[in-house]
Amino acid sequence: MAISKDSRARIIYGGVVHALSLTKLEILERGLIAVGADGKIAWVEGDVEGSRLQEVVSSHGWTLDGVEFVELKKGEWVMPGFVDTHTHAPQYPNLGVGGQYELLDWLNNVTFPTEAKFSDVAFAKKTYEEVVQRVLSNGTTTCCYYGSLHLEATKVLADIAFAKGQRAFIGKCNMDRNGGTNYQEPSAEQSLKDTTEFIAHVSSLQPDATEPLVQPILTPRFAIACTGDLLGGLGKIAAANPTMAIQTHISENAGEIAFTKQLFPECESYAHVYDRYGLLREKTILAHGCHLEHKELELIKSKGAGISHCPTSNFNLRSGMAKVGEMLDRGIKVGLGTDVSGGYSASMITAIQHASVCSKMVSVQAPVGWGSGRFANKQLPISTLVYLATMGGAELCGLENHIGNFLVGKEFDALLVNGLVGEVWRDDKLEALVEKFLFCGDSRNISAVWVGNRVVN
């Protein structure tokens, strides 16, 4: 089946899978999705017999002759593209390295030396071409990237993501202390100046778009890498740009938390550091949150911020296990992140698998009798895992009205999945194939990737 790469109007007929809520995964064996040339979903029908195709299409004022008609085979389906809410583009060269360390030693011995190499713009261009393509090939249609602290290299990352058609939030990393002698900015002033220039560069890529494909995101690395002057300056930039997203780390590792409290004794908690400087609000994406206190969870909820759950990294660096179920019960927004290269896989499928394992281990360790909420101290069901990897991420990014599932009016960011790759899968029903894809599949099962109805992989 040949699929055109342009964004022409098309109708897709066959398996459709998407999460409507944390507890409802809609699986349609014979769904119809109509997508306009503008990249948005025009209409959806649930269960259509082949004999009624023309009738149903005509009822919407469309004709099969006037569009690209894509009929899926048995064992194929479309689902929303994954939203990776936390990854580090300049860490891909050391993917899989340093698992013997915990967080702070891993940063100093492995990560900061690798990120320092991105002062070389030619190296950055070569690397980022490979990074963005690899992320797309794994089915990630929207990605929140941390760049390095280098302005020019991070501009290159934004240009490449835009050219390849990926939806992305990209931030020049801010850090003016505790990066060692070779990897920190000379001053808060320089960091803020470069950040302002970077925002202008990204904003110039689609100056007239109401929802640009690539957007800037403020990126203080984490509290211990930023002085109060830098955090305060970023807070002023945030105040001047009230709809701009913000990304940073929080409560990942016990040593990191202790160091943060040492550096900011005037703040009640780690979360209060970001709040003090005006960086905790809607579209603030806080990575990890393994050891958040109750008062921090309350603060995060009240500010409309959310958590990027990065279980692969949390396991790999022995950081801890985020209590995602409790966060969901509190109404806190949660998405998933690969957190390359603390996480050793660029695939959101791996993040889904480890989110499932993490929820089971949290459940095992919970005191007897705890677990009266809907999700807390319980293993996460398939519907919730898919939601976190798609709609949950969209909510964190403020894109819940644009992407995340297949509701009418949303952008068609989608994956064509082939569940027939692998002999043992062949005779299963669609529901079973979906679960097998999530726990046994990989990029080989992803036949096509659309962003805004344009094939990007």
Q: Say what the pLDDT of residue 2 is.
A: 61
| Alpha helices, H only, 51-210 | 53-59, 103-106, 112-116, 121-137, 151-164, 188-203
Given a contact cutoff of 8 angstroms between Cβ atoms, the answer to whether 116 and 183 are in contact is yes
Q: Say what the pLDDT of residue 371 is.
A: 59
What is the tens place of the pLDDT at every residue in 81-96?
999 999 999 999 999 9
Given a contact cutoff of 8 angstroms between Cβ atoms, the answer to whether 325 and 332 are in contact is no
351 membership: H or E segment, kind and range: helix 348-365
User: Within 10 Å of residue 429's Cβ, how many Cβ atoms?
Assistant: 10
What is the tens place of the pLDDT at every residue in 252-293?
999 999 999 999 999 999 999 999 999 999 999 999 999 999
Digitized pLDDT (tens) for each residue of the chain, 457 residues in all: 567 666 689 999 999 999 999 999 999 999 999 999 999 999 999 999 999 999 999 999 999 988 999 999 999 999 999 999 999 999 999 999 999 999 999 999 999 999 999 999 999 999 999 999 999 999 999 999 999 999 999 999 999 999 999 999 999 999 999 998 789 999 999 999 999 999 999 999 999 988 999 999 999 999 999 999 999 999 999 999 999 999 999 999 999 999 999 999 999 999 999 999 999 999 999 999 999 999 999 999 999 999 999 999 999 999 999 999 999 999 999 999 999 999 999 999 999 999 999 999 999 998 766 656 899 999 999 999 999 999 999 999 999 999 999 999 999 999 999 988 765 566 678 999 999 999 999 999 999 999 999 999 9
Q: What angle (nearest 5°) sits at the alpha carbon of residue 211, between those of residues 173 and 38? A: 135
Distance of alpha carbon 322 from alpha carbon 285, whole angstroms: 15
